[in-house]
Structure 1
Amino acid sequence: MRIERHQVDAARVEKAREDFVNRIGRQVHSYSRAGLMTTTEWQLISESFLDYLGALSTTRPDLDSAEAKAVLKDAAEAAAGAVTFAAYYPHDRFHVFLDYPNFGMSYDPEYGQERDPRHRVTAGEWLDAFCLAIVADKVFAHGEAFSWARQLMPDGPVTPTRELVDGFAAHFFEEVDFPDPAEASEASEAVAASNAAAAPAAGPQPGLRALRALTDGDREAFDAALLALLQDGQHGAGPDSLLPLVPIALAALAYRTHGWTPAVDTDYLPHALVTGFETPGPRVHGLGRDPRPDAVARLAAGPVDLDRPTPARPLSPDSAARFERRTLEAITPKEGEPLDAWELTGALRYQTCLLSARASETSDATDAQLANLRLGSGLGAAAFRAALAEPGTEVEVTIDGRPLRFPAHRDTDFGPVFWETALSYALITGSSEDLEPLVLAGPTIAAEDRSPFASYRTALHDHLRGADPLPATERALKAVERARDQGFLPPPVVLFSQLVEGDETSLNLALLDALEAHRDHHCVADRATDTTAALSLDILALVCHARRTRGWAVHVRSPYLPPRLLAAAGRA
């Protein structure tokens, strides 16, 4: 059976889509400057994301895109932020973070204050937020907040919405007896008869019947209840009305719990939201898991082509000349003054900007990019030779063929991030001379690593120094979601794990996954302007290392993997 979506206001759709990246940024920062952000502000932000998501669905009803996935995530986080505020403020510490606009707000306890009843969430607000959490797979991340906010809801009549709140709570948390649909509806009718403000319930409501069917594993009953929900009619002129949250959440639960696909054919249930943006077959997610059958077939048939949709972003001639000049200044002795190893950190950043800008214009490495790589590799190695030197001594280094002397120096800027960047340059160029001080130093020689990337860097270091990398690799795999939740693109841990395991086929599968994740990350919001958009140094470094040390073939063709660099690594 096919159910067509209703028509919405075209002008509102266009308004929701127009310049959303900047508009949502202005909205969240405006709220943050206006005072305390409460349930109201977080709900308004969630509504903006939902409007945009609905607008996106008018041109792509399945919503299977990186942009839609990022928007859904923040719509759910903002709605959960409202629930969390209602649950915890002013008695507990909590934090709300939105990845899309890169915005977060931390709340500390306000001792002596009482909860403001105006900041409670209604049953309808709780239900919308909970449905978004289901679809975004964030229920248990915010489960305690949902439970507390539900207990603090304003008193009122038993309405169908409140019945659904109790039903969802019972289904997930088992904290109350699951309401019987017939009894709940009779209660609603009794209340409605004595309270004109309450909506009358006509028989057992479909939402509760669907939840009961999910609990019982009764697919026929579930399909009938979901159909009834959709046939009740969806209304509204705004694009958010194209995405009925309760039916979508129920369909998502059915698919993810029982593997049931919706029996009804309708764009009201976008495929990506129901399946959790699933691609065919299970993905490579870590040690010992099965690869995706579709990707195996594609790679077996020959090299897989992966495009780079981000636009070219060349530097102006003046900017390029300034970066080259400042790099040269960092490695040019001034009369009567010693060189400063700290200057090498800025010089490596300049070379990375030059390399990335030049890479964005071509699908293969140019002579200028090769020069950036050689120089960057030498800069990173020199910094860590200075960090390893005994205080009060000088160290001799060679950078781009120039013999230089640097006083021993260990700066906190020679921290884990800088180490990882320098390591990528050394692995791409294959310079064993430049790699040596990085392996000797390790990622934490100058600063502790408290980031979600710490285990990955430890695993890299263990692998390169001949220690067992598996314990750190397993920790790094577990930290991937933490990195993603904090707004970071996770490091290519799975790709590294396949290198460690010595599995060439799985490495190519993981490479395809890693490059797709990199591409999708930079297709969201304004991330196409990031320095890292055109090239992932981490991924490229691992591939070059696999080619150089194991002789493995690479079955993915992409501008993210300049053929000239892969060929050079294969000849080593």
Structure 2
Amino acid sequence: MRIERHQVDEAAVSAAREGFANRIGGQVHSYSRAGLITATEWRLISEEFLDYLGALSLDTPDLHTPEAKAVLKDATEAAAGAITFAAYYPRCPFHVFLDYPNFGMSYDRKDPENADDTAHASIVLPQRWLDALCLAILSDKVARHGEAFFHTWQDMPAGAGYSAAELVDGFMAHLFGDIRDHDTPDPATAEQRLAAIDVALARIEDRDSEAALALHALRAVAAEDRAAFDSGLTALLQARPLTPTARPSSLLPLLPLALAALAHRTHGWTPSVDTDYLPHALVTNFEPPGRTTVTWPARVDRPTPALPLHPGSEAHFESSVQEAVNPSPDDPHAVAHLADALSRQTLLFQVRASQTPDVTDTQLADLRRASQIGAALFRIALAEPGTSVEVVIDGRTVAFPATRDDSTHPGRWHSALNFALITGVREDLAPLVLAGPTGSAADRSVYAAYRVALHDYFRAVDPAPATEKALYEAELAKGSGFPAPPVALLARLVDGDQDGFNLALLDALEAHRDHYSVADRPTDPDAAIDLDVLALACHARRRGWAINVESPYLPPRLLRAAERR
């Protein structure tokens, strides 16, 4: 059967959509400037994300978009932040991070005698607890935030005078076990879960209330009763009040969505009811359609816009690079200026790359110069202190004083290596292999293990252990706000797996595209091209491997040049 969604006030939809990326960023920073972000503010932030997600669902009812995925993730983290604040502040340290506005806040443990008790409300209302739990279910974050949910549930008075409180107990029974008298969750058998849900049901007087209908559907999931679940979910959706002036978030009822998600992820059930109230992406946590077969060559388009490059700015950048590669003999900051030139040359290449599907002669010159600058920096760093080093850039031989400082930090080594791999110039690669990523400074970034794995691979040391560590750390770094390095792509190179490399290449480019399709990231220079992926693709082509992915992210002219080297 089909259940149509109710109408939502158009003004509210427009307000939710308009300038959301800037608005949510301004909101979280405004809260942080006003002092400690408490449970109340985290809940309000979550509600803003949910209103925007509801507005997005009017354009894309199944919500299978990178934007929707990012918004749901942060709606969950903000709602869980409210629960975590109530559970731990000020007794324990914790951290809340939102990827979409790239904002986080850390909370330190405070001495109870000096803590501001007015900032800590340990009691969470059942309905707000349920909303946060439903979001955690949709995002598969129950395990991550389970302890905070458990502690705030324990602080909630039994019964609490709300039918929602019985529903809270039912969810706790299903997800954690009926354990109000214990300090930590204990596993529960299916029979114990059913018995606890039945107890919660018996305490609800209104058998037609939303809580009772939801508990019946939850019991059906626990009992593996598909027919009872389908009828219960349909009844729950049909009982929703239709209010035309409702907020856009009302288009995405969290309770039916969470129940549908539980049923799908536990038993593989797809809702039998046909309705936009249950977007497929939210029910499945953006489950990809799956690649049983790929038709090669595969295509990955670049949806981000061409970036503007004002002639005056372009001329200024070019001039500053030229000055850096042709320093005056008495310039005490010559090496620092050369390092800055590598960053400027990178930016010029990225912006120019955004404007064309293939590289131009100008962009090829950008790459050659960037590769030479990067190699020069590390030749300078490897030289004996007190000596002078001659390097060749743009056909000119220039002397620089031997310098090992922050000019050759791990990030700059990473950039220099990428350019050397893209151009394929062996003499540019050699000093990078000799220096390594941490020759001048320690690396505490999320890319540290990946850089070690790259270095091991190119210096002919068994890269497998470092690659395994990089894969593990890349998984831990998810949600850090940074795009993950293409460790899986490097792993296929290490294994000599050409077919797996092409599949990983397709995944890496799609992940890059999706990451930079969110919020205001399309205007980021990094959106135009992933230098890490391009570097590995050029290296693989130089090894004789076929590259079966076509994309503006992989300029064909560069791949053809790699084939000929």
**Aligned position for 2:82:** 82
2:122 paired with 1:122:
no
CA contact (8 A) 2:167 2:211 kept: no
Normalised by the length of structure 1, the TM-score is 0.92
2:202 paired with 1:186:
yes
**Aligned position for 1:554:** 547
Matched AA of 1:404: V
CA contact (8 A) 2:169 2:200 kept: no
Matched AA of 1:475: K
2:289 paired with 1:277:
no
| Cα separation, 1, equivalents of 2:154 and 2:414 | 47
**Aligned position for 1:287:** none
Which residues of 2 match residues 68-147 of structure 1 at below 5 A?
68-111=68-111, 112=113, 113=115, 115-116=117-118, 118=121, 120-147=123-150
CA contact (8 A) 1:40 1:119 kept: no
Is the partner of 2:406 in helix, strand or coil? coil
**Aligned position for 2:295:** 298
2:560 to 540, 557, 567: 567
1:457 to 451, 455, 460: 451
Moved more, 112-121 or 132-141: 112-121
**Aligned position for 1:405:** 399
2:321 paired with 1:327:
yes
**Aligned position for 1:66:** 66
CA contact (8 A) 2:124 2:156 kept: yes
2:47 paired with 1:47:
yes
CA contact (8 A) 2:167 2:214 kept: yes
Moved more, 152-161 or 342-351: 152-161
Shift of 1:244: 0.8
| Cα separation, 1, equivalents of 2:417 and 2:230 | 54
Q: CA-to-partner distance for each residue in 1:212-262, whole Å, 9 max, x for gaps?
A: 332332322222222222122254411100111111111112212221111
CA contact (8 A) 1:492 1:539 kept: yes
Is the partner of 2:399 in helix, strand or coil? strand
**Aligned position for 1:196:** none
Q: CA-to-partner distance for each residue in 1:495-521, whole Å, 9 max, x for gaps?
A: 111122222222111111111111111
**Aligned position for 2:26:** 26
CA contact (8 A) 2:159 2:165 kept: no
Distance 1:235 1:484, change over 3 A: farther
Is the partner of 1:487 in helix, strand or coil? coil
2:199 paired with 1:206:
no
Distance 1:203 1:103, change over 3 A: closer
Is the partner of 1:58 in helix, strand or coil? helix
| Cα separation, 2, equivalents of 1:367 and 1:203 | 66
Q: CA-to-partner distance for each residue in 1:92-124, whole Å, 9 max, x for gaps?
A: 111111111111111112212375464632111
Matched AA of 1:166: D
**Aligned position for 1:240:** 249
| Cα separation, 2, equivalents of 1:414 and 1:166 | 57
CA contact (8 A) 2:166 2:211 kept: no
**Aligned position for 1:358:** 352
**Aligned position for 1:494:** 488
Segments of structure 2 that go 5 or more residues without pairing to the other structure are: 180-191
2:372 paired with 1:372:
no
2:227 paired with 1:220:
yes
Aligned length: 547
| Percent identity of equivalent pairs | 61
Is the partner of 1:121 in helix, strand or coil? coil
| Cα separation, 2, equivalents of 1:427 and 1:337 | 31
Is the partner of 2:526 in helix, strand or coil? coil
| Cα separation, 2, equivalents of 1:204 and 1:47 | 21
Matched AA of 1:233: R
Shift of 1:556: 1.4
| Cα separation, 2, equivalents of 1:338 and 1:450 | 29
**Aligned position for 1:173:** 176
**RMSD over aligned Cα atoms:** 1.9
Distance 1:339 1:14, change over 3 A: closer
Shift of 1:339: 6.7
Is the partner of 2:408 in helix, strand or coil? coil
Q: CA-to-partner distance for each residue in 1:31-86, whole Å, 9 max, x for gaps?
A: 11122211110100000000000000011110000000000011001001111110
CA contact (8 A) 2:485 2:532 kept: yes
Is the partner of 1:297 in helix, strand or coil? coil
Q: CA-to-partner distance for each residue in 1:395-451, whole Å, 9 max, x for gaps?
A: 222122221222221112422211111110000000100100111111111221222
CA contact (8 A) 1:214 1:222 kept: yes
Matched AA of 2:79: A
Is the partner of 1:364 in helix, strand or coil? coil
Distance 1:262 1:397, change over 3 A: same
Which residues of 2 match residues 372-451 of structure 1 at below 5 A?
372-451=366-445
Shift of 1:210: 2.6
Normalised by the length of structure 2, the TM-score is 0.93
| Cα separation, 1, equivalents of 2:154 and 2:37 | 22
| Cα separation, 1, equivalents of 2:553 and 2:348 | 16
Is the partner of 1:403 in helix, strand or coil? strand
Shift of 1:158: 4.8
Shift of 1:531: 1.4
| Cα separation, 2, equivalents of 1:261 and 1:107 | 40
CA contact (8 A) 2:450 2:470 kept: yes
Q: CA-to-partner distance for each residue in 1:133-163, whole Å, 9 max, x for gaps?
A: 1111211121211112222235663533112
Matched AA of 1:377: S
| Cα separation, 1, equivalents of 2:333 and 2:15 | 55
Is the partner of 1:410 in helix, strand or coil? coil
Shift of 1:463: 0.8
Distance 1:455 1:235, change over 3 A: farther
Is the partner of 1:449 in helix, strand or coil? coil
Matched AA of 2:109: P
Q: CA-to-partner distance for each residue in 1:445-502, whole Å, 9 max, x for gaps?
A: 1221222211111111111111111122122222223322111110111111112222
Shift of 1:571: 0.8
| Cα separation, 1, equivalents of 2:241 and 2:456 | 57
Moved more, 321-330 or 43-52: 321-330
Distance 1:40 1:336, change over 3 A: closer
Moved more, 61-70 or 414-423: 414-423
Matched AA of 1:33: R
Distance 1:234 1:540, change over 3 A: farther
Matched AA of 1:277: F
**Aligned position for 1:478:** 472
Matched AA of 1:4: E
Distance 1:517 1:202, change over 3 A: closer
**Aligned position for 2:4:** 4
| Cα separation, 2, equivalents of 1:521 and 1:182 | 44
CA contact (8 A) 1:453 1:483 kept: no
**Aligned position for 2:165:** 162
| Cα separation, 2, equivalents of 1:175 and 1:488 | 39
| Cα separation, 2, equivalents of 1:532 and 1:37 | 31
